[in-house]
């Protein structure tokens, strides 16, 4: 399950992402999103029903980031450039509420009690050694998460969208 924006991100952020892509290579991840949860995927209809139930009472939440880092990602087929998410109470409450609905539906979390904490900006980065973590040391507004996407991993950087719900 992904928290994502329903609208395009701000032009200033797009410009920053393009500069990062020029510096590190790779590809900008679209849409930018915060992966909130992964489940075993054995019951896609139960999962989409649980997400739709949650969405009825969910509220849009601001996602902000700070502190760049690179890590390997088998889901993305190479190294990714990520931005640490700045935690706030509202975001934490939304994540907890979504996970609670998923558990109540009998679905197993692949994350356990860990909380989603980063947004992938670039996939398949080529020049990770030039990373200057201070480059995004100050918090930056990424997007307002007002959409919830249910997807299934098919292969490296390949996903099936099972459902998408706008959060009012």
Q: CATH number of the domain that 76 lies in?
A: 3.90.1140.10
Q: Please state the φ and ψ torsions of residue 166, each to the nearest 5 degrees.
A: -85, 135
**Cα→Cα distances 90→23, 75, 76, 87, 113, Å:** 33, 28, 29, 9, 18
pLDDT of residue 158: 66
pLDDT of residue 157: 64
The reported pTM is 0.86
pLDDT tens string, the chain, 168 residues long: the values are: 889 999 999 999 999 999 999 999 999 999 999 988 887 666 778 888 888 988 999 999 999 998 898 988 877 778 999 999 998 999 999 988 988 888 888 877 777 776 668 999 999 999 877 777 666 667 899 999 999 998 877 666 667 788 899 998
- What domain range is 119 assigned to? 2-166
What's the number of domains the chain is made of?
A: 1
pLDDT of residue 154: 66
pLDDT of residue 83: 92
CB 32 within 8 Å of CB 5: yes
């Amino acid at each position: 399950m992904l928290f994502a924006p329903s609208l395009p991100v701000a032009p200033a952020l797009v410009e920053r992402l393009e500069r990062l892509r020029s510096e590190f290579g790779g590809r900008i991840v679209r849409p930018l999103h915060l992966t909130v949860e992964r489940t075993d995927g054995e019951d896609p209809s139960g999962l989409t029903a649980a997400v739709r139930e949650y969405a009825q009472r969910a509220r849009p939440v601001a996602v902000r980031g700070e502190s760049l880092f690179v890590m390997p990602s088998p889901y993305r087929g190479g190294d990714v450039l990520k931005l640490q998410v700045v935690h706030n109470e509202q975001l934490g409450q939304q994540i907890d509420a979504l996970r609670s609905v998923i558990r109540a539906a009998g679905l197993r979390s692949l994350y356990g009690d860990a909380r989603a904490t980063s947004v992938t900006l670039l996939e398949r980065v080529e020049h990770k050694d030039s990373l200057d973590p201070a480059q995004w040391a100050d918090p930056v507004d990424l997007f307002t998460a007002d959409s919830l996407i249910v997807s299934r991993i098919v292969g490296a950087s390949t996903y099936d969208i099972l459902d998408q719900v706008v959060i009012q």
